[in-house]
């Protein structure tokens, strides 16, 4: 049954595997992958650093306990509190 499906697929003229191989071998595709990696790696590292440092700063620093930060934090959560899902 599997062999008939393969032969039927190849006889219909659709060769997506070969098209994909040709696509990933192009210089433009390789350039796009490099640009993707150049974006994803630094952003991920920044997020992870921020994720682990923020609780430490919140616990041991007075910067995040100020009035201005509390106002900004409240404004940041305001759209969520008006959401119907918080009903």
Specify the DSSP class assigned to residue 63: G
43-47, 60-64, 65-69, 75-79: which has the minimum mean pLDDT? 75-79
Angle between helix 16-24 and helix 27-60 axes, rounded to 10 deg = 70
- Mean pLDDT (the chain) is 74
The answer, yes or no, to whether residue 1 has pLDDT greater than 50, is: no
pLDDT at 56: 82
- Kindly tell me the sign of the dihedral angle through the C-alpha atoms of 56, 61, 65, 71: negative
The answer, yes or no, to whether residue 60 has pLDDT greater than 60, is: yes
């Amino acid at each position: 049954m599997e062999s008939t499906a393969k032969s039927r697929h190849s006889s219909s003229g659709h060769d997506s595997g070969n098209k994909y191989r040709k696509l990933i071998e192009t210089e433009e595709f390789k350039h796009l992958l490099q640009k993707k990696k150049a974006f994803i790696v630094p952003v991920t590292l920044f997020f992870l650093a921020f994720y682990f440092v923020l609780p430490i700063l919140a616990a041991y620093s007075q910067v995040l306990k100020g009035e201005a930060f509390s106002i900004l934090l409240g404004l940041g959560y305001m759209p969520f509190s008006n959401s119907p899902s918080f009903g």
